[in-house]
Homo-oligomer: A and B are copies of this chain.
Amino acid sequence: MHSKYSGADHSRGYTYWERRRVGIVAKIVECIPNISEGRRPEVVEEVIAEVRKVPGVVLLDYSGNADHNRTVVTFTGEPEGVLEAAWRLIGKAAQLINLEEHRGAHPRLGATDVVPFVPVRDVSMEECVDMARSLGERVGRELKLPVYLYERAATRPERRNLAEVRRGEYEGLKESIKTEERKPDYGPSVLGTAGAVVIGARPPLVAFNVNLGTSDLGVAKAIAKAIRGSSGGFVYIKALGVNLAERGQVQVSMNMVDTQGTPLYRAMEFIKAEAAHYGVPVVGSEIVGLVPLEALLETAAYYLNLKEFSAEQVLEKRVFGF
């Protein structure tokens, strides 16, 4: 269709700019601190109250686990508010949680164990790295807690990997923190009862599980080994083979740590092809928790073979301007 003239008018109404003008949205960052308390709800509530105190920050979710003795907190907002909320949460957790008394199945270094910043909207990874460093500096200086930077904010290659930073846990770090290798990025080289805080920046993580029509756990384990970066597969996939005994199925359970680098559809097509070698069908999948819109749009575009598709073509994006 030949278009002689065309235009649009976003100057009024509920567009992004309108919402920004009334101070409702702008740059949006997500923060997902993990605190080392999953058994005393009153302590968790007190820590979370600090997040609620910061105007403009929205608590999306918190979810505790008694076996892990750990709670995952999710909140979002503009960078300034998110930084303030993370700062307050770390301070309160350090007051209330004593690592000398903490027992739980999940590895941890401190009262606030890990604080990742994730870009959501109009924010670059570099800005999230800057946030991690700025928060780390303040925590080291004002709270006198040792801080390690990880993932995209890491200052040493071996600190990119969270598992590596947590090695030896709180108990082991009491001694090893004195070594040059374990010297914190900020704060003292001494561990108090609040332990250390690991702060960083990373892309949104997607928990993606694919179920296979067999009860043979060996098949899931072999495919998990083939797909995960640590054993030769895709660099941004972590994977395990899991038994779903009740269903008589097995599962390739994945953490997709960068769905721009390794998209969901590539994981799915790879697993389908590998499973076919065992004569095993893919019988279903699940996304646990949240997934960035882009990861799903790219999947739809891939399978529909769409050329030049843009997220701006999504009706809701145009209407609500998110």
Q: A2-B66, A291-B313, A314-B296 are in contact. Are A22 and B22 (CB under 8 A)?
A: yes
Asked if A245 is at the interface (CB within 8 A of a chain B CB), the reply is no
Question: Max chain B CB contacts within 10 Å: which of A44, A55, A314?
Answer: A314
Contact (A322, B314) CB under 8 Å given A287-B309, A304-B268? no
Complex alpha-carbon distance, A221 and B9, angstroms: 39
Q: Give residues of chain A (126-169) contacting chain B, Cβ–Cβ below 8 Å.
A: none
- Tell me whether B319 and A306 are in contact (CB under 8 A): no
Distance of A80 from chain B, by nearest CB (Å)? 14
**Count of identical protomers in the assembly:** 2
CB pair A24–B30 under 8 Å, yes or no, is no
Residues of B within 8 A of A5 (CB): 41, 44, 63-64
CA distance A44 to B4 in the complex (A): 12
Q: How far is the CA of A219 from the CA of B27 in the complex (A)?
A: 49
Q: Would you list which residues of chain A between 265 and 293 have a CB under 8 Å from chain B?
A: 265, 268, 282-287, 289-293
Q: Is the CB of A319 within 8 A of B60?
A: yes
Interface of A is mostly: mixed
Query: How many A residues touch B, CB cutoff 8 Å?
Result: 81
- Selected contact of A6 from candidates B39, B64, B315, CB within 8 Å: B64
Closest B residue, CB atoms, query A77: B13
Residues of chain B within 8 A (CB-CB) of A38 are 4
Please, could you name 26 A-B residue pairs with CB atoms under 8 Å apart, sorted by A?
Answer: A1-B65, A2-B65, A3-B64, A4-B39, A4-B66, A5-B44, A6-B64, A8-B61, A12-B52, A13-B56, A14-B19, A18-B24, A22-B22, A28-B320, A120-B315, A284-B307, A286-B308, A287-B309, A290-B313, A290-B314, A291-B314, A292-B315, A293-B314, A293-B315, A296-B297, A299-B304
New contact pairs (4) apart from A3-B65, A268-B303, A296-B296, CB-CB < 8 Å? A7-B61, A7-B62, A264-B300, A286-B308
Closest CB pairs A-B (n = 8)? A13-B58, A9-B59, A6-B63, A320-B322, A299-B300, A303-B303, A296-B300, A14-B24
